[in-house]
Structure formats: structure tokens, C-alpha cells
Amino acid sequence: MKPILFVGHPLGSSLGLVAALETLKISYQFVRVSMPADLQSAAYKNLNDRQQTPVLMLSDGTILTETMAIAQWLMHQDREHQISFPQPSSAELDLIKSMAFINSSYTTSFIPLWLSMEVDSLSETDTSVLHKIGTMLTNKSQKQLEHLVPASPFFYGNTPTLTDFLFAGVGRWADFHQVFDLQAYPKTAQWKEAIFDLPQIQLAEQIEQGSFSQTDFGQEIALDVALSLRQQS
């Protein structure tokens, strides 16, 4: 069995993981998971009880449910260091640190905004409070990110790494929630533009949107088929 990546849509944080698999030319399968509807099914909860994407099912049936865990797995597959650095090294540790910031501080700052949209039982007051909290947290994390982003095209020079790919998915959320104008953060805006000019990111967007069911390395399978493979493993 090939590795299976469960890709959330629309605007899933898993976008960059698709691009990473394509960059490394890893043969894989992918499942488009409609959020939040598919996440709420009993079968998906059995796969990931946190009811989130991304999820990577490995060939032996092992389930990786966290972006950082999947990124670490990709680093181990990257024997030629196309999107990572030799292990162990200070460059590798710095890569992990930058990925961790994007996956923790930056990504989690948007949680109140997503909750304000997706939780039907919230009162109008609760929704407003969550939106205000989310706006405050995202602006704070964006200021921190702007300070970290270098002047180079990508986070580590002229070649994209996993840090750039991980930002691709969540870097779209500010525009969607309209919590700040990214042009007020010129380094981040320029960085994001360079990332979305990458062919593998553009391909990942088309996969997410359902425009492609097959690439040179990836093949789409249905959610129920993938979940049945989980039960068989």
C-alpha cells in the first residue's frame, strides 16, 4: 500500500504537504476531505479522534496525525536534502524551529476565528468575542512572523524547504478571515508570493480543489476506500 495523505479542503493546512510529496517524487495516494462535514463522521473519528487534517497513513498502516510528525517523516524520506537539511545539524534544528512556529503559534492563532464560523451553537455574543480574540491573536503572530522572515525569496535562501511548504496552507487564512492586510507586512507578502509561484504549490491547489485526480506521483482515492484500508491494516 502506498502512503495515503488525507487532504482537507477548502483552505486546508495540508496544502504544502502535497507539494512536498510531489517535490520528493514519492508515490502516494490522496483523499480529499471535505471540512468540516467529513471530519464529523464516526469512521473519520476512528482514524483521527481529534477530527482534523492532515493525516498520513503509512504503507504499514501507521497513522501520523500531526503536521510536524508528517514533516519529520518527510525529512527522513528526503535523502538528497531537497527540502530539508542534513541530520543532525544546526540547520536542521533551525528548520524544525521555524516549522514549529508556523504550526503552533501562527496556525493556532486562527482557532478562535474558525470556531466562530463552525460552531453552530454559539450565541451572537460568543461569536463576536471569538472573532475579536482571533483578530488580536493573529495580528500578534503575524507581527512575530514578519520579524522572522528573511529578505531572501524563501525562508532559507533561493530554494524552498518544508518551512515554506508548511506556510502555504495557513498563509491563505488571513485573506479568508480578513483580519489584517498582508500588504502591511511586506516581507511576508513577498515570501507568500514566491511560494505560490512554485509549480508544485499550484499543483497542490488544483488537487485540493478537485481539478486533478491523478499526478505523476499521486492518485486520488475515495474517503470510504481509504478508511476501509485502515481497517484491513
Convert the pLDDT of each residue in 81-116 to its tens digit: 999 999 889 999 999 999 999 999 999 999 999 999
Q: How confident is the model at residue 231 (pLDDT cuts 50, 70, 90)?
A: confident
Predicted confidence at residue 233, as pLDDT, reads: 65
Q: In whole angstroms, give the CA distance from residue 60 to residue 78.
A: 19
Is pTM, for the whole model, over 0.75?
yes
Average pLDDT of span 1-27: 97
Report the C-alpha gap between 100 and 147 in whole angstroms: 16
Strand order in the sheet with 55-57: 63-64, 55-57, 4-9, 28-34, 218-220
Q: Residue 12, exposed/middle/buried by CB under 10 A (0-12, 13-18, 19+)?
A: buried
Angstrom distances, CA of residue 205 to CA of 13, 14, 51, 201? 11, 10, 22, 6
What b/e string do you get for 159-168 counting C-beta neighbours within 10 Å, with b at 16 or more? ebbbbbbbbb
Q: Please give the average per-residue pLDDT across 180-208, as a whole number.
A: 98
Looking at every residue in the chain, the average pLDDT score rounds to 96
Which is more confidently placed, 196 or 88?
196
Q: What are 19-53's pLDDT values in tens digits?
A: 999 999 999 999 999 999 999 999 899 999 999 99
Asked if the model's pLDDT at residue 230 lies above 90, the reply is: no
DSSP 18-50: HHHHHHTT--EEEEEEETTTGGGSHHHHHH-TT
Q: Is the pLDDT of residue 142 over 70?
A: yes
- Does the pLDDT at position 162 exceed 80? yes
Residues of the chain with CATH 3.40.30.10: 4-82+200-232
For helices 124-148 and 186-196, angle between their N-to-C axes, nearest 10 degrees: 90
**Does domain 90-198 sit in CATH 1.20.1050.10?**
yes
CA angle 68, 219, 9 (to 5 degrees): 55
Nearest CA among 200, 211, 142 for reference residue 171: 142
What is residue 148's predicted lDDT score, i.e. its pLDDT?
98
* pLDDT tens-digit map of 115-129: 999 999 999 999 999
Q: Which CATH number fits domain 4-82+200-232: 3.40.190.170, 3.40.50.2300, 3.40.30.10, 1.20.120.450?
A: 3.40.30.10
How large a percentage of the chain has pLDDT more than 90?
A: 94
Which three cell numbers mark 5? 495523505
d(CA 54, CA 94): 23
Q: What is the pLDDT of residue 232?
A: 76
Residues of the chain with CATH 1.20.1050.10: 90-198
Show Cβ contacts of residue 108 under 8 Å, excluding neighbours closer than 6 positions.
none
Q: How many angstroms separate the first and last alpha carbons of the chain?
A: 10
Strand partners, 50: none
